Structure 1
Amino acid sequence: MKKSSYIITIVALASFAFGGAKVQAAVSSTHTSENEINFIAGEGVVTPPVDPTNPDNPNVPKPLDPTDPENQGTGQTGPLSIDYVSNIKFGQHKITGKDIAYKALNANPFVQVTDLRGAGEGWHLSAKMTEFKNGNKVLKGASLAFKNGVVKAGSSSNISLAPTHSEMLFTNADSRPVMNAKDKSGRGTWLTTWSGTDQANEAVQLNVIAGTPEANTEYTSSITWELEDAPK
């Protein structure tokens, strides 16, 4: 019994001495590598419109707006550009004897701006509207309202501060603020969307006064969108 105990003890010690300890490797040489990238302003870059319902969607619907199928964007080049503006459609209606607020047919009208200048100076977008008219026929007193707008980034990973937006009511030719990006904000692509029910969008409404429409007459109006390279 003593002999067996002695042999087992020797084997255990030998295992500890030769197999249990780990040798630490020594660093014999070091060298540092460098990584580099350089950026310039996005001169000449055309930013296409994104999906207003999901700006991260890589498969932008075509047409983007079924009520405005010919509109594929402005094609403006950067570094500071208006990329897309919806043409608002109200369709055909029978004349009534009351004041009526007609809802836009567009489900997701929007305006899109991109700032690729890379310095964050800020910017300001405004708009002004002409009268609804057909030749000498004017839809007197008509007003156009954009409300409940939502500002969205063209990419959810954009870490820039967002621009602010303003509600718009066009009653005359005066300019109205739309979006404003203060200093160090509004970098990249930004949208304001006025989403609502398809064919009856309450976020964009044309208010028409009783007694003004004439039959068999299509009235049109233009909105001029102006993008300035500094905030207000």
Structure 2
Amino acid sequence: MKNKIIGAMLFSTVLLSTLAATPVFAADAPQPATSKGTVSFTEATGPVDPVDPTQPGTGNTGPLTIDTVPDFAFGEHEVTGSSQKYASTNTGAPYLQVSDRRGVGVDGQAQGWVVDVSMSEFSDGTTTLPGTELSIGTGLVDAPDTNTNTGALPTASAVNLTPTTAATTILTADKGKGLGTWMEAFDPASVNLTVPQQAKGAFESTLTWTISAAPVE
């Protein structure tokens, strides 16, 4: 009888040891499940309205646009026969507005852009004012509250324009900057027109503003 009890105990010990050593198969473990989140975007096509509606929009469309550009007025003056410099008579702050709605590139960064400006001769249709120079001081760069990329401001530059000079860069967003809508507001006191030789009449010049993608770095 004693031997039977001992034998039963040994059998139980071996059985428990065997069960403890048996691994739990992966198929018996809880399995994960997957789901998806999706979003898609299309290229921007419509125009962007001016932030300040007192200045008309250009109506330009597409993902990289100039939305509004400033006119500069210099008043009415008597002919003096000598070179004169005239400050802008604009009220408020005439401004340039651009929008970059291209999104980030494959590297996850804004692609950057450059705005250039050039001017034509001041003319009344028959007569021009030779040697005229337009100086535009560095403007104040800002963005509307809807733009959340304000940690990377574009860079403004002062320009001196004549009808014979090439287009000059006035606002630049380097790689990693420039997403969304931006404005450069100009102080009228820093916008000046120098006219070496005046003539009787009303004269007008056309300023041409262009925006282009920044060179790939």
TM-score, normalised on structure 1? Answer: 0.68
Distance 1:79 1:41, change over 3 A: farther
Paired positions, count: 176
Distance 1:97 1:105, change over 3 A: same
C-alpha contact (below 8 Å) 1:180/1:231 kept by paired residues: no
- 2:177 counterpart residue number: 185
CA–CA distance in structure 2, aligned partners of residues 39 and 121 of structure 1 = 20
Answering whether residue 154 of structure 2 is matched by residue 167 of structure 1, we say no
Q: CA deviation at 1:38?
A: 2.6
- 1:145 counterpart residue number: 135
Which of 85, 90, 94 is the aligned partner of 1:109?
94
Q: CA deviation at 1:227?
A: 0.7
Q: CA deviation at 1:105?
A: 1.9
- Percent of paired sites with the same residue: 31
Distance 1:156 1:231, change over 3 A: farther
Residue type at the aligned position of 1:131 = E
TM-score, normalised on structure 2? Answer: 0.73
Matched position secondary structure for 2:49: coil
Between Structure 1 and Structure 2, whose CA radius of gyration is higher? Answer: 2
C-alpha contact (below 8 Å) 2:147/2:180 kept by paired residues: no
Matched position secondary structure for 1:102: strand
- Across the aligned residues of Structure 1 and Structure 2, the Cα RMSD in angstroms comes to 2.4
The CA deviation string for residues 189-209 of structure 1, in whole angstroms up to 9 with x for no partner, is 0111112xxxxx311111111
Distance 1:85 1:138, change over 3 A: same
Q: CA deviation at 1:159?
A: 2.5
Deviating 4+ runs (over 4 angstroms): 34-37
* Structure 1, unaligned runs of 5 or more: 1-31, 52-59, 66-71, 196-200
Which aligned pairs between 1:1-232 and structure 2 lie closer than 5 A? 38-51=39-52, 60=53, 64-65=54-55, 72-106=56-90, 107-119=92-104, 120-155=110-145, 158-160=148-150, 161-171=152-162, 172-195=164-187, 201-209=188-196, 212-215=197-200, 217-231=201-215
Distance 1:37 1:157, change over 3 A: farther
CA–CA distance in structure 2, aligned partners of residues 169 and 154 of structure 1 = 28
Matched position secondary structure for 2:209: strand
Matched position secondary structure for 1:137: coil
CA–CA distance in structure 1, aligned partners of residues 182 and 61 of structure 2 = 15
CA–CA distance in structure 2, aligned partners of residues 133 and 193 of structure 1 = 27
* Structure 2, unaligned runs of 5 or more: 1-32, 105-109
C-alpha contact (below 8 Å) 1:83/1:112 kept by paired residues: yes
Q: CA deviation at 1:45?
A: 2.6
C-alpha contact (below 8 Å) 2:149/2:180 kept by paired residues: no
